[in-house]
């Protein structure tokens, strides 16, 4: 699974441009799925026939898109001005390498040099509107030969193992979730199950809205990343979750109050299988659960998250043990088929 995550993280697929990652996933599941289809908004929906039907329409979901940038202007000097795709803290942007467009042009995000800054500008994080991407061109004509307004960019792929069982990369949010679902599709399942690889989560959960309306699942479990707070000087009351402490389960976030009985069911399954888990202790953020809960028939929802340091940056950091535990929990849930959930 880790090799699959690495391959998926290398894809250039921000919100609205998920073609590359979707084709990778289709290649991985097409010989294992009972059926699959791509809808008008780019969502990939997969059905896997199990040994029997549970009487419930169960959906496991992960989003394909990542945060990124869109080119909005090319200057006479050949610099590219851009805006954000998804929620990105501008403090993590300057100085980063990016890959732009289908030609995978390499660029560096830059801003006014410190020796040119006025006294009141020093120490202040530069607004995105004042940053630009340097692709090494000398004028607008040469830059326009490489890049066009409307082209997308993402942080340069940088998957790496480091430290004590950790991984860092751009786009682990949510390529790890996609990899977990693919691993499950490749198995023989005890119960019929639907899987969704959705678009545009980072800009408003738009893909999940379409899938929820069309499929109308009884239960949807979303696999996601969530912000880990076990970093220097952070108070434990604001950790949200920690690396190496297992899958993260939530009572509530910024978009969803989760089904209490379903949450308890997942906790019970984890405990029966000796899978360590943790409860998110900060009410913040959001994911595709809110879209599923509000669409179709009022789907019961739960989220299983990977604790992730430095989320929505060029270097998401996760623990391999947490990812393996999430896969184990997902498998245990499918074995039970959510009977009496």
Q: CA-CA distance, 193 to 113, in Å (whole number)? A: 54
Among the candidates 88, 120, 155, a domain finishes at 155
In a domain, 162, yes or no: no
pLDDT exceeds 80 at position 282: yes
**Same-domain status, 141 and 179:** no
Instruction: Tell whether 38 and 92 lie within a shared domain.
Output: no
Asked if residue 341 lies in contact with residue 265, where contact means CB atoms within 8 angstroms, the answer is yes
Q: Would you state the structure tokens that stand for residue 289, as one six-digit string?
A: 């659960």
The pLDDT value recorded for residue 257 is: 95
d(CA 93, CA 126): 10
Q: Which of 40, 37, 69 is nearest to 206 (CA)?
A: 40
Higher pLDDT, 121 or 29: 29
Per-residue pLDDT at 53 exceeds 70: yes
| Structure confidence by residue, pLDDT tens digits, 181-195 | 999 999 999 999 999
| Phi/psi of residue 71, nearest 5 degrees | -75, 130
- Residue 46: C-alpha distances to residues 37, 267, 332 (Å): 7, 26, 20
Residue 13 within any structural domain of the chain: yes
Q: How many domains are contained in the chain? A: 2
Task: Looking at the structure, tell me whether residues 271 and 240 fall in a common domain.
Answer: yes
Q: Identify whether residues 281 and 312 lie together within a single domain.
A: yes
Query: Hey, CA dihedral for 66, 67, 71, 72, is it positive or negative?
Result: positive
DSSP structure string for 35-58: EEEE-TT--EEEEE--SB--SS-E
Quote the pLDDT of residue 44.
Answer: 98
Same-domain status, 54 and 73:
no
Tokens of 226: 């969530």
End position of a domain, from candidates 121, 155, 189: 155
Q: Indicate if 258 and 147 belong to the same structural domain.
A: no
- In order, the DSSP letters of 99-151 are EETTTTEEEEEE---GGGS-GGGTTSPPPGGG-EEE-S-SSHHHHHTT--TT-
Same structural domain for residues 141 and 281? no
| 178 and 148 in a common domain | no
In which order are the strands placed within the sheet that holds 160-162?
A: 160-162, 166-169, 316-319
**Do 135 and 197 fall into the same domain?**
no
Query: At CA 75, angle to CA 101 and CA 170, rounded to 5?
Result: 35
Q: Which sequence positions are flagged as catalytic? A: 201
- Mean pLDDT for 207-233 is 93
Closest alpha carbon to 308 in 300, 320, 325, 295? 320
pLDDT above 90 coverage of the chain, percent: 85
Residues 177 and 94 in one domain: no
Question: Mean pLDDT, to the nearest integer, of 68-91?
Answer: 96
- Residue that is last in its domain, among 132, 155, 178: 155
Take residue 321 and report the two structure tokens written for it.
Answer: 């043990």
- Residue 102 sits in which domain range? 68-155
- Residues 327 and 218 placed together within one structural domain of the fold: yes
The CATH number linked to 128 is 2.40.30.40
Whether residues 75 and 53 share a domain: the answer is no
Q: CATH code at 272? A: 3.40.630.10
For residue range 102-159, what is the model confidence (pLDDT) as tens digits? 889 999 999 766 666 677 667 678 889 999 999 999 999 999 999 999 999 999 999 9
How far apart are the C-alpha atoms of 192 and 184, rounded to whole Å? 12
Structural domain includes residue 292? yes
7 within a domain of the structure (yes/no): yes
């Amino acid at each position: 699974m880790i090799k699959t995550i690495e391959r998926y993280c290398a894809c250039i697929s921000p919100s609205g441009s998920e073609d590359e990652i979707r084709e990778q996933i289709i290649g991985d599941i097409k010989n294992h799925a009972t059926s699959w289809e791509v809808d008008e908004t780019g969502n990939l929906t997969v059905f896997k026939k199990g040994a029997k039907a549970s009487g419930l329409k169960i959906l496991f979901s992960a989003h394909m898109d990542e945060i990124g940038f869109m080119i909005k202007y090319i200057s006479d000097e050949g610099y590219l001005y851009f805006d954000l795709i998804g929620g990105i803290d501008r403090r993590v942007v300057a100085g980063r390498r990016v890959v732009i467009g289908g030609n995978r042009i390499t660029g560096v995000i830059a801003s006014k040099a410190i020796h040119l800054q006025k006294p009141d500008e020093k120490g202040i994080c530069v607004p995105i509107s004042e940053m630009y991407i340097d692709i090494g061109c000398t004028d607008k004509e040469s830059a326009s030969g490489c890049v066009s307004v409307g082209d997308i960019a993402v942080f340069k792929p940088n998957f790496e193992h480091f430290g004590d069982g950790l991984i860092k990369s751009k786009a682990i949010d949510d390529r790890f979730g996609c990899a977990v679902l693919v691993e499950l599709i490749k198995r023989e399942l005890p119960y019929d199950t639907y899987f969704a690889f959705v678009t545009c989560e980072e800009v408003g959960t738009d893909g999940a809205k379409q899938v929820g309306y069309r499929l109308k699942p009884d239960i949807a479990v979303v696999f996601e990343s969530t912000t880990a707070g076990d970093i220097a000087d952070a108070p434990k009351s604001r950790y949200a979750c920690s690396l190496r402490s297992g899958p993260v389960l939530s009572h509530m976030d910024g978009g969803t109050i989760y089904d209490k009985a379903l949450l308890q069911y997942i906790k019970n399954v984890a405990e029966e299988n000796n899978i360590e888990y943790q409860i998110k202790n900060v009410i913040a953020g959001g994911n595709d659960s809110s879209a599923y809960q509000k669409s179709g028939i009022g789907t019961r929802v739960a989220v299983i998250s990977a604790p992730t340091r430095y989320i929505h940056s060029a270097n998401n950091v996760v623990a391999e043990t947490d990812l393996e535990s999430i896969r184990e929990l997902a498998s245990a849930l499918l074995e039970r088929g959510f009977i009496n959930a």
